[in-house]
Amino acid sequence: MAIRGLYAIADMATLSARGISLRAYAEDLRAAGVMLVQYRDKDADDEVALYRAEEIGAVFDGSGATLIVNDRIDVMLLAGWDGVHVGQEDMAAADARVIAGDGRVIGVSTHTMQQVWEAEQGVADYVAIGPVFVTSSKADAAEPVGLDGVRQARERTSKPLVAIGGITRTNAASVIAAGADSVAVISGLLSRGEPVQKVARDFLDILR
């Protein structure tokens, strides 16, 4: 399960605010060739979250894509997905590992170099650093770390490094050049007036 290139996030709050169907979004990602997808849904109850995860899973069935659920490890297990991503205020990565077992991917969010170092010492399979730039996708986002933050994080971890926050087609290459293995994108995939499939393909071309 390679953590590299485009890491597309299906964030229900963002999709709903823009009137975009989750299934249509997932279908566009698959058609573009996206192979790494996270489903993030902080507000849905367990039944709805599981239904949505299964809907995404059905779209990507047979594609070989890696599917990761944000925070909700129960949904990940019931949907039969590949892994879970936890934040600093969510379940600890070590606890997620105990529940998920060794066959699942565990990702962890970090916002400081101390957190990156702790993640390097822990059980997570990959480390996410951010926000790199100012982002509108998360109301309580930490201060941006910038490209220097990505470089510093790269020095502190040997694990796959995912950069997130304010990443667009314009700046994605610079984030990879700074040391990230992958860029996680939410709003950057939802460029007004352009199909998601086209924008996703642009990202994939840039990140090759």
The predicted pLDDT at position 135 comes to: 77
- 165-194 per-residue burial string, b: 16 or more CB within 10 A, e: under 16: bbbbbebbeebbebbbbbbbbbbbbbeeee
Q: Give the residue-averaged pLDDT of 46-66.
A: 98
Which residue bears the tokens 């994080």?
153
Distance in angstroms (rounded) separating the CA atoms of residues 3 and 99: 21
Q: How many CA atoms lie within 13 A of 25 on its CB side?
A: 25
Amino acid at 190: L
Q: Is 159 among the residues known to form the active site?
A: no
Choose, from 30, 52, 138, 154, the residue flagged as catalytic: 138
Distance in angstroms (rounded) separating the CA atoms of residues 203 and 172: 8
Provide φ and ψ at 152, rounded to 5°: -65, -40
Q: Which residues contact 205 (CB under 8 A, 6 or more apart)?
A: none
Q: Give the residue-averaged pLDDT of 72-91.
A: 97
Q: Give the residue-averaged pLDDT of 6-21.
A: 97
First to last CA, the chain: 17
CATH of the domain at 170: 3.20.20.70
Nearest to 127 by CA among 82, 179, 79: 179
Is the preceding omega at residue 131 within 30 degrees of 0, hence cis? Answer: yes
* Structural domain harbouring 177: 5-206
Q: Is 138 among the residues known to form the active site?
A: yes
Choose, from 109, 137, 182, 187, the residue flagged as catalytic: 109
Task: Kindly report, residue by residue over 121-167, the tens digit of the pLDDT.
Answer: 999 999 999 999 987 766 666 799 999 999 999 999 999 999 999 99
For residues 207 and 34, the answer to whether their CB atoms sit within 8 Å is no
Domain count, the chain: 1
Q: pLDDT confidence of 1, banded at 50, 70, 90? A: low
Angle at 71 between CA 137 and CA 14, to 5 degrees: 25
Q: Give the residue-averaged pLDDT of 35-45.
A: 97
Q: pLDDT confidence of 202, banded at 50, 70, 90? A: very high
Choose, from 40, 72, 156, 159, the residue flagged as catalytic: 40
Q: Is 72 among the residues known to form the active site?
A: no
Nearest to 59 by CA among 81, 90, 87, 92: 81
pLDDT of residue 72 exceeding 90, the answer is: yes
